[in-house]
Amino acid sequence: MQVEITIKVNGRPIQTHATEVCGTLEQMEETIHALGKKVARDTLQGAVDVVVPQRPLFRKRAGVGGTGGISPAR
């Protein structure tokens, strides 16, 4: 039996898995279980790849007045 699973994230195809499943019920179960793990891994990676990186929470402050490199007078 031919099993094909296509992963889409936001409607965009990420990965297609096609596997021939045959043998005893135990062999078929093992094959499908392994395929499920691959699909889960690829789905998670595809979802992470489409996330837009956030801007940093803290930014360096811009020097105001241009006195950043001047030492105080004595």
Give the pLDDT confidence of 10-60 residue by residue, as tens digits.
Answer: 888 888 989 999 999 999 999 999 999 999 998 888 888 887 777 777 766
CA distance 65 to 13: 52
User: Has this prediction a pTM greater than 0.85?
Assistant: no
Q: Specify the residue for token string 């936001």.
A: 10
